[in-house]
Amino acid sequence: MRTSLTDRFDLAVPVVGAPMAGAAGGRLAAAISTSGALGMVGVGGGASPSWITEQGRAAAESGLAWGIGLLAWVLEAKPGQLDAVVDLAPPLVSVSYGSYARHVPILQQAGSAVATQVGTVDEARAAEQAGVDFIVARGGEGGGHGRNDVATLLLLQAVLDQVNVPVLAAGGIASPRGLAAVLAAGAAGAWVGTPFLACPEATVTEAARDLLVAASETDTSYGRVFDVGLRQAWPPEYGGRALRNQFFDQWVGRERELAEDEDAHAELIAAVERHDFEKAVIYAGQAVGLVRGLCAASDVVADFARASELLRHAASIPEDA
């Protein structure tokens, strides 16, 4: 399975372990990279430059390709996050969700390839203009934040038709079947988050892991309830997909009221602190329905590698069959 992604980073499997703030630190990134894919560290709003340096060093320990994912809207207030990443110069950096274009040449000059996640064809065209090395076409079924306007397969087809930059597909790619499908369509690889969430190397509590394993593909919902409740300044076009819970059901459609309700805010913060997931958020995509149990990152990557059998089978189907 050689693609422009595997060639650029010397990978055995055309999969990037997506940056996931709160779940993907240096340990998960290193485990994914050691298994033949490319693991990334997710940097959230609260991450300090020293945390980034520490996690980046842990991810880099394998000596193989790895990456870091930044949130563009956070960098406005926390430029030190970018400085820490420039100092580390990981082989791959993603900057998504907000004004990222001015950071692209800085990161490239430091020696990193740059990716950004897009949710529409217009965003993909803008990413090509900004000079990124990889475009991640991320559909609405994906976990965590992003747009919910277009589903992965349609977005991938449309973006591949419009840009000349290598494209990775993200959102709902959870098995060798999904990887084979996007490679056959012309993607250079898959950008995979949710399927790694239940791995022991992810920084997810045991209670959250149990809920992820028990959830089906219909158990997520998309919206801004948790961002509003936690007072996080995400650009409004990027809501989040998470396991649906009592807090979401109580406040969806009433986000303006929630923005003013200090008791509800305090209640949510307290729930996060005591890991009460009837209220606290667990970000995950529809792919959660295929997460079956505690599975090492190396097993998840090895499973994706089976896409090559499916592609060989597809290639052997006679044209007149």
Q: What are the residues binding ligand FMN (CB under 6 A)?
A: 18-21, 23, 42, 44, 69, 71, 94, 96, 117, 138, 142-144, 146, 170-173, 191-194, 283-285, 287
Of 256 and 292, the one with the shorter C-beta distance to ligand FMN is: 292
Minimum distance of ligand FMN from residue 49's CB (angstroms): 16
Take residue 102 and report the two structure tokens written for it.
Answer: 């001015």
User: Which position's Cβ is nearest ligand FMN?
Assistant: 193
Closer to ligand FMN by CB, 268 or 291: give it. 291
Name the minimum Å distance from CB 263 to ligand FMN. 27
Q: Would you say 5 and 166 are in contact if contact means Cβ atoms under 8 Å apart?
A: yes
Tell me if 282 sits within 8 A of 212, measured CB to CB: yes
Tell the smallest beta-carbon distance from residue 156 to ligand FMN (Å): 13
Minimum gap (Å) between residue 308 Cβ and ligand FMN: 20
Least Å distance, CB 234 to ligand FMN, is 11
* Least distance to ligand FMN, CB of residue 205, Å: 12
Min dist. Cβ of residue 149 to ligand FMN (A): 14
Nearer to ligand FMN, 191 or 251 (CB): 191
Nearer to ligand FMN, 18 or 107 (CB): 18
